[in-house]
Chain A
């Protein structure tokens, strides 16, 4: 399954990169979300996959009794999800404001508008 996930991460990354290179900032934002997902999956997969056994110590035991999933990448991914959400939310607000101010989401037009502002 790791091999399958590797291919999946590749597809997600390719889609994300293409979207991030788009001139429209909304598409850039789509790409940002997709690439966060890709990275989270990559971290998760690199800790190897174990089906259906959450890393939880049962009552009465001191260590997990069966073969459980790798806890470390899970903890890292948890942090990463929250952080990437913070990044997304901030970027969304920023883009929203930029649109209100400049009236466009197209990067090329935005730059032209900024130059006009400077020259005035």
Chain B
């Protein structure tokens, strides 16, 4: 471990960077706690600041049962994690930076759960992605940490983009971005024809964030972060963002067959898949990471339904999971910190050396395994009750829950029983108890699991029921949380879980070998991700080599080719509107001008003499000026003549120092270029004919004609437009010419000094 802080243990934790974060989280926690009474009475609070009112983006925040429950968990667990981190990371060179990142992460997460505006929510959503990237890759000297951080960023960031698209679709359907208003509209999103695209984009965002199979692989890799981050990331924050959003949008998007089945299938597969893999891990942190996946799968599974039992189960399990997962991660952090390893093969007999840690680990694990009287037991009972009440396939869901719960039971044993009570510590390792700052977190969190289990009505009133009402509506019957519900199917399933769990625990070594053997033959999503990235890079190199030749001529060829194809396509798409060609009555002066221009450009085109080419250009320019004179544009004609003269003079003076042109020869040497040039010319002619054939909109001209004298007091309308109506444009034009002149001067100046 590169972040082994005791090696560089300098400075006290009693520094601003150490004590301010827990105090901030504490203040927020207290502030949220004052809102418990009104929210428990099913009231809601809303704060609005206008941000970009023209786009319907407000900094609006909404507090109801669901967001308050999350806010309390985020800030409450925040206090303990920050306190823990202030000791765990003490002496790290970038201690203050770490604390800043994790506080920013908490604030983004709070913003996310409190936001009432979809776009505000998205901003906070992305902020959690960015801050978690900084936290996962915190040990930036380790390439694995950088790689895993980038993976998390790309996976959740891609999902975020899908989510944004979904939000915009929701906004166009509901004509508002305010979540509370969207909820008030009832089933407007579900009835919309855009429901399916919205749902797909929405779930793409929430599934990647909440690490549902098959986008789960980034979460175990996020273990590269320092342990306090893992504890925080896995319990109350980050991965719960997707769960929160699914719960938040449940009233507006849920309740359909698609919602029910998609969430059921993804949730169940994730839960079972993850809990099997959890058994395989020998690193304590990795084992816990996979149980987080299992929890996320279970939560998704229960958010699939809209029966109140399922929602109550989801909310209760959310609490259960937050408490035990944060506690166990912190315990693993302590073990790692005090012994220097997290390998279960090397750990044992820690109970004697670390009694308090052992107590916390035991309490948390009992809740995780679902023993009474812990909250975990109630959560498990509710899960079974909820599963049996599901509208989809109750037995399948109950089966999936049973398997994952039994595996959870076993993992709880592996993580918190084996290291403390089995055998002895590997040679060369010593263990001692952690300081109080690090013990407070796991102890309090584990105790929460017990206290809320013994007094379930407390949890129900403050945290669970307001959340359930927020998801399922105030007319649903909320369920009382009880330890003893009598002998019923959930209790029988619970007993089955214990039996199965004990069996798995006893044979877990053999099972692990077997799973490891099987897993080697399965595709690895983690490696698959790397291959996708490699493929993307390979494609980028390939297409750059094709498109970016580095030859100006090829770029120009492509540009003109695209232009002609595009314009030709447009003409074709518009239909064959052939302009009514009236051969105009041309006077001699017209013919003179036309011949002058055509002859001038042909001379430039064919000659190999520099002087002849410049003369041809001059002639063509004068021809254009004559056109301006003939058709009532004396100002333009004067400018054109002036510029034409300047061009000839400049060219002539420069060309004397430039080489002769190579002869063009009689034979056409660039047939492909000629074909392209001719087709561009033809198409432009066609477009011009179509354009001039139609009616002309002179409303702007009429305005300028009327306002020129009456408002701007100028008689030359063209001049008035330039210096008055479009004065800023003219100013910009002058600036361009000045910059070009300065640039030219600098280039010529550089020549002399070089």
A interface vs B, CB < 8 Å?
A: 1-24, 26-30, 33-34, 37-38, 40-42, 44-59, 61-64, 68-72, 74-75, 77-79, 81-83, 85-90, 92-97, 99-100, 104-105, 107-108, 111
Contact = CB atoms under 8 A, between A and B. Distances in A.
- A-B residue pairs, 10 tightest by C-beta: A14-B681, A10-B685, A69-B632, A6-B688, A18-B677, A86-B740, A2-B692, A17-B677, A93-B744, A75-B721
A111 B682 CA distance: 32
Contacts of B677: 13-18, 21
Given A37-B621, A44-B627, A90-B744, A3 B689 contact: yes
Contacts, number: 276
Contacts of B743: 90, 93
B661 A10 contact: no
B604 A34 contact: yes
A13 B740 contact: no
Contact of B737 (A14, A78, A86): A86
B751 A100 contact: yes
B257 interface: no
Nearest to B744: A93
A77 B636 contact: yes
B659 A4 contact: no
A79 B730 contact: yes
Interface string B658-698: 11011000000010011011101110111011011000101
Given A26-B655, A74-B633, A33 B647 contact: yes
A50 B631 contact: yes
Given A3-B584, A63-B705, A54 B633 contact: yes
A21 B553 CA distance: 5
A72 B700 contact: yes
A37 to B, nearest CB: 5
B593 to A, nearest CB: 9
A15 B635 CA distance: 27
A87 B740 contact: yes
B737 A81 contact: no
Interface of B: 550-553, 556-557, 560, 579, 581-584, 586, 590, 594, 597-598, 601-602, 604-605, 610, 613, 617, 620-621, 624, 627-628, 630-636, 639-640, 643, 646-647, 650-651, 654-655, 657-659, 661-662, 670, 673-674, 676-678, 680-682, 684-686, 688-689, 691-692, 696, 698, 700-701, 704-706, 708-710, 715-718, 721-722, 726, 729-730, 733, 736-737, 739-741, 743-744, 747-748, 750-751
B657 A96 contact: yes
Secondary structure of the B side of the interface? helix
Nearest to B628: A44
Contacts of A8: 594, 597-598
B590 A1 contact: yes
A89 B584 CA distance: 37
A34 B647 contact: no
B684 A10 contact: yes
Given A9-B685, A21-B557, 20 more contacts: A3-B692, A4-B584, A10-B688, A14-B680, A14-B682, A17-B676, A26-B610, A26-B655, A33-B621, A38-B684, A46-B692, A48-B692, A55-B705, A69-B631, A75-B718, A81-B639, A82-B737, A97-B750, A105-B659, A111-B551
A13 to B, nearest CB: 5
A53 to B, nearest CB: 5
A51 B673 contact: no
B202 to A, nearest CB: 47
B607 to A, nearest CB: 10
Contact of A21 (B676, B692, B706, B751): B676
28 contacts: A5-B627, A6-B692, A7-B685, A12-B620, A13-B684, A15-B604, A17-B560, A17-B673, A27-B661, A30-B613, A34-B604, A37-B620, A40-B640, A41-B627, A42-B688, A52-B631, A56-B716, A56-B717, A72-B700, A72-B721, A75-B721, A77-B633, A77-B636, A78-B639, A86-B741, A93-B747, A99-B658, A111-B550
Contacts of A70: 696, 698, 701
Contact of A71 (B610, B634, B717): B717
Residue from B586, B597, B617, B631 whose CB has the most chain A CB atoms within 10 Å: B631
Nearest to B564: A17
Contact of B635 (A11, A12, A19, A74): A74
Nearest to B621: A37
A10 B617 contact: no
Contacts of A74: 633, 635-636, 718
B167 to A, nearest CB: 41
Given A18-B677, A54-B633, A47 B696 contact: yes
